[in-house]
Structure 1
């Protein structure tokens, strides 16, 4: 009986366990966050710790360029709150031994990633990691729903290859736990894809409307092609089209209710009348100011289908790999007609996004599940016919593609591991920076670069530590401030001594031996101590 129950459990949730373990590994190995995630990370922290005391919330002091919604942060915080309550009951600090290993690595240049990771597992941060895992649970749960519809429509073998392709890629499982608006939208889009495969077109469109109104207004670029495909009779009969028009009225009500929800919640949190995604749309489209955050050429989108890591502007796999990335999805559409109606709107979404001035690869991560579905259909057909001569050649290409994909995943993961230097710098400072006089406050100033590359409210400790993120302070002004430590990107600061530095990822250099790629690191963040503090100057520091 128990064996039968266990087999049934594995049949239903086995793939989820595999994908979940990989995502959890990424969280434990790289728990820190970047500036793109800062709003939701700070919002989750404030919801969990400040609760109804809105005046203490970070976004009121650092509002950012445009407001973002709190709905995603509220949902993730709700799921993570039981762990937070237990940790609070046990009086554990917010960063209970977070990444101790990387701090000790500053003293030992011969450290390895695996030693660092093993030490981290022994002293992990349940509070910080819990919100990441809660976010990942939401995304992977919706991916489970989509995958179940893949199994019903295309068969269990296609489902298996879908999981294999997803597991061998880096970006989807790495990003699925990260509190980005794109990832929160991805969870809703996964539901839309699932309903689409199931034949419930109205539910699919309603999901896309919700994601566009609440999380990412650019989901309109996916909503419009999908709706157009349905109207052009790819998926609906004439009767269905008439019903679709009738249902459109109900969709307008749904749209209005969604707008009311986000306006109500976010107006309370922002203390002003606001619809966040409308302001984002106004800023990016009407004011046309999105290009202020950088531009990426049209061909850049080709890299999104597989292998780019957390810093998309720096980590590149060989561009010719795109020929392999397009090969499987296109082959899937040719081998199975059922795939084409799903592939066209998603491909159109990527094409439309490529025309926008500002774009990053995470913006089109919502296209990955459908591309993987089409690729899985092709891989399944190749596997079934692998004993035939022509298909045997394709099977060799498929295996080569998977190996290359795995290699790119390894490179981008190692680059990402070294891509959050300021988080490690603050953790190491907490470990060795305690002074003899613990009754006095120790002020740490965090410059904008450091705040964008690994430090969040979850990294802060209690008394005697105090933190400042005041911006636009001239370098010469620091010596006139009562600041104990500086964490910034400058090697020399007048009135301060450089205590230690933390290396970060710089670039990937190809080489003609194994491994074929070498990760180049260089000092990215420097921790300085006030020379007026005698206790601080009398301590032994690694130096810069």
Structure 2
């Protein structure tokens, strides 16, 4: 089971399925995604055209990850343009995300193979259990193709873990320190936890471990100073700047604070649902299956990961993605526990019950993951709204006798936060009769001026002009949809997003299956998803989220 298997293939297919199911992105992904767009379309020299020159963000972020992705995608882009032409560049966005997803997928497969190699003599099935437990989880699989900085860093962490599971702690810690300095500082903290525990548990010597940490950090420092200072146009160390802004100055609390226990009692439930990995952790610590002769590899992995989560808990602002790096490591320990439980199936009643859970809960986890993936596809109304408007503009472009030669589309903040990227804009060459300008102006002073709105022809906003907006400040309304003398705004599209789930359709479907089980068998055999898709659609509650308006002046449509 050391080499590529059908579970690995299914894993890549699952990542690809989520990518196609939800092709758009959220605001947290925007910096890296826009940076890749700029590198692919403007090259590496004309930096004044880059998106970050206009929208810098609260703190500078590293260009290292986007640079690596662009280097991989750039040779493929001409082939994509030739054989899969698109009026927008959403195909290119899918390719970019596909590369990210493949990188994350291959890094986890490498981790599984390293686990198989290190435990081949003592436990040949532990890597299979790792695949079953890890590949059936939702968060890592769904977000594997997304350009969140954490998931650009995750392949490097998994690469480091692949060394660590073989007992090679110094290379692992070196890679984590490098990644922490260049991409995400918390990865460096994770590396420090591994360094500390590997020394205390006799896995590595203090001198060699410190040497690896220093080497990784220095190479990382040189890399980030070289790459990021170039793209930002001044001496820049993004992770240090972000640390000062978010932690030292405490600005991260502006995005919300949570209690110390949130990672352990809130986010762990979400990351490991159902909790098969936590259930197997204690059993996984009882025996180390590695054959590196050090005897404490599994314990070091577990304690280091829990210590990392513990230290991260001191930061008041918490998000599950800040501790995502520990999930594969803890899953390794859980896989060891599952393997031990199943191998001792007949030894006791508790082991039989745990063995049953080891087989059943991953199936539940996969089913839950698939449902959550489908539900999550309704969380990107901005991307859908822009795609719908682009279709409208393409049809308008084919209309004879056009009076208007230039069109400006204004997209407000909620729209830009939920799926709108530069990849979604129409390419100039896809239009023959007019030019489309896409506007993301956030300046409230300018948006309160009528002259600004005179230039807008279409608006994508979260303001419903037909709703009762009397309780909203007029200034707020005017920044979202301001009246223009002699013109009217007409609502031409409404885009919905996820609002909740109702269980009644599932209950009804279960009753139908109970009455006619043959129908379910026929659907499975014929791969007919019509019935289950109807149940899923009926179970999802949607709400109006974004509205598209067209400005019509002087009664001319």
Give the TM-score band, short-chain normalised. 0.7 to 0.9
Deviation at 1:352, TM superposition (A): 1.6
Does the Cα contact within 8 Å between 1:94 and 1:459 map onto a contact in 2?
A: no
Partners of 1:27 and 1:471 in 2: CA distance = 30
Match of 1:328 in 2: 280
Does the Cα contact within 8 Å between 1:509 and 1:519 map onto a contact in 2?
A: yes
Match of 1:24 in 2: 16
Instruction: Describe the superposition over 1:334-371 as per-residue Cα deviations: whole angstroms up to 9, x where unpaired.
Output: 35465222100101111222221111111111011111
SS in 1 for 2:361: helix
Partners of 2:219 and 2:346 in 1: CA distance = 55
Unmatched segments (≥5 aa) in structure 2: 289-295, 429-434, 466-480, 511-535
Moved more, 474-483 or 435-444: 474-483
Deviation at 1:519, TM superposition (A): 3.0
Match of 2:461 in 1: 488
Question: Cα–Cα, structure 1 residues 485 and 156, in superposed 2: closer, same or farther, change >3 Å?
Answer: farther
Deviation at 1:64, TM superposition (A): 0.2
Match of 2:39 among 36, 47, 52: 47
Deviation at 1:403, TM superposition (A): 3.5
Match of 1:513 among 496, 501, 507: 507
Match of 1:145 in 2: 110
Partners of 1:90 and 1:389 in 2: CA distance = 60
Question: Cα–Cα, structure 1 residues 479 and 57, in superposed 2: closer, same or farther, change >3 Å?
Answer: closer
Moved more, 324-333 or 439-448: 324-333
Question: Cα–Cα, structure 1 residues 231 and 424, in superposed 2: closer, same or farther, change >3 Å?
Answer: same
Match of 1:272 in 2: 234
Equivalences for residues 31-110 of structure 1 within 5 A? 31-51=23-43, 52-89=45-82, 92-93=85-86, 95=88
Instruction: Describe the superposition over 1:261-293 as per-residue Cα deviations: whole angstroms up to 9, x where unpaired.
Output: 111111111111111111011111211111111
Question: Cα–Cα, structure 1 residues 89 and 438, in superposed 2: closer, same or farther, change >3 Å?
Answer: farther
Partners of 1:520 and 1:276 in 2: CA distance = 41
Match of 2:546 among 521, 525, 530: 525
Structure 1's consecutive aligned runs of 4 or more residues displaced over 6 angstroms after TM superposition are none
Instruction: Describe the superposition over 1:460-518 as per-residue Cα deviations: whole angstroms up to 9, x where unpaired.
Output: 10233220000144478488431111011111134412111111012345569367994
Partners of 2:12 and 2:232 in 1: CA distance = 34
Question: Cα–Cα, structure 1 residues 56 and 354, in superposed 2: closer, same or farther, change >3 Å?
Answer: same
Match of 1:181 among 123, 126, 149: 149
SS in 2 for 1:467: strand
SS in 1 for 2:126: helix
Match of 1:118 in 2: none
Match of 2:423 in 1: 458
Does the Cα contact within 8 Å between 2:64 and 2:224 map onto a contact in 1?
A: yes
Partners of 1:412 and 1:305 in 2: CA distance = 17
Partners of 1:57 and 1:325 in 2: CA distance = 43
Moved more, 74-83 or 392-401: 392-401
Match of 1:261 in 2: 223
Does the Cα contact within 8 Å between 1:214 and 1:259 map onto a contact in 2?
A: yes
Match of 2:293 in 1: none
Deviation at 1:60, TM superposition (A): 0.6
Does the Cα contact within 8 Å between 1:332 and 1:378 map onto a contact in 2?
A: yes
Match of 2:198 in 1: 230
Does the Cα contact within 8 Å between 1:304 and 1:365 map onto a contact in 2?
A: no
Say whether residues 1:133 and 2:98 are aligned partners.
yes
Match of 1:357 in 2: 316
Moved more, 452-461 or 401-410: 401-410
Deviation at 1:295, TM superposition (A): 2.1
Does the Cα contact within 8 Å between 2:301 and 2:330 map onto a contact in 1?
A: no
Match of 2:522 in 1: none
Equivalences for residues 291-302 of structure 1 within 5 A? 291-301=253-263, 302=265
Match of 2:361 in 1: 401
SS in 2 for 1:499: strand
TM (normalized to structure 1)?
0.82
SS in 2 for 1:12: coil
Does the Cα contact within 8 Å between 1:422 and 1:454 map onto a contact in 2?
A: yes
SS in 2 for 1:470: coil
Does the Cα contact within 8 Å between 1:83 and 1:127 map onto a contact in 2?
A: no
Equivalences for residues 406-417 of structure 1 within 5 A? 406-417=366-377
Partners of 2:540 and 2:129 in 1: CA distance = 31
Equivalences for residues 110-129 of structure 1 within 5 A? 125-129=90-94
Deviation at 1:303, TM superposition (A): 4.5
Does the Cα contact within 8 Å between 2:170 and 2:208 map onto a contact in 1?
A: no
Question: Cα–Cα, structure 1 residues 243 and 368, in superposed 2: closer, same or farther, change >3 Å?
Answer: closer
Deviation at 1:197, TM superposition (A): 1.7
Does the Cα contact within 8 Å between 1:445 and 1:487 map onto a contact in 2?
A: yes
TM (normalized to structure 2)?
0.81
Deviation at 1:432, TM superposition (A): 2.2
SS in 1 for 2:456: coil
Equivalences for residues 308-327 of structure 1 within 5 A? 321-322=274-275, 324-327=276-279
Match of 2:470 in 1: none
Partners of 1:170 and 1:461 in 2: CA distance = 33
Number of aligned residue pairs: 483
Say whether residues 1:343 and 2:302 are aligned partners.
yes
Say whether residues 1:283 and 2:245 are aligned partners.
yes
Say whether residues 1:214 and 2:235 are aligned partners.
no
Does the Cα contact within 8 Å between 1:188 and 1:208 map onto a contact in 2?
A: yes
Partners of 1:244 and 1:77 in 2: CA distance = 33
Say whether residues 1:444 and 2:409 are aligned partners.
yes
SS in 2 for 1:156: coil
Match of 2:492 in 1: 499
